[in-house]
Structure 1
């Protein structure tokens, strides 16, 4: 079994993270996407953080990341930022 090593995400200050009503978890918005050195898609968030969004069935089923039109539809949508939730800056 091959271990999947991920680079850490950008950990900029996070003033743009929001808290949704009735939810203590911070939420950011999708601002764009790019591919890493291996061709995996990475979401860029308004808070400055990033997160890999791999499509590797059956463990990670995200077929929408493979289609440019579907990625484009996600821009501006809310995204629960795990880095902001941890207080990482």
Structure 2
């Protein structure tokens, strides 16, 4: 049987995977506060919980046509966005304390 080994979306040594530097607690229902592009040109959502989420579109992990459209991205600011980091246990194996 073939073992499917999936890589994590963020590695510990990347700044996008750092825990909240200002120690804000993760609260239910984070929202999008903004966007920026990483060094490879992929869009990254900035969330109200202090975390970030890559929105890679080559190939897309999820169908998010709005990622490529500037107008639709702006419309997402203030909207709820599920944070994968907040959904994990308080201390994760791939994040530093």
Q: Calculate the TM-score normalised by the size of structure 1.
A: 0.71
Structure 2 unaligned segments of length 5 or more: list them: 1-6, 92-96
Superposed, 1:1-89 pairs within 5 Å as 6=10, 7=14, 8-12=16-20, 13-15=23-25, 17-18=27-28, 27-57=29-59, 59-86=61-88, 87-88=90-91
Structure with more strand by fraction: 1
SS in 1 for 2:74: helix
Deviant stretches of 4+, over 6 Å: none
Superposition RMSD in Å: 2.4
Q: How many residues align?
A: 78
Q: Calculate the TM-score normalised by the size of structure 2.
A: 0.66
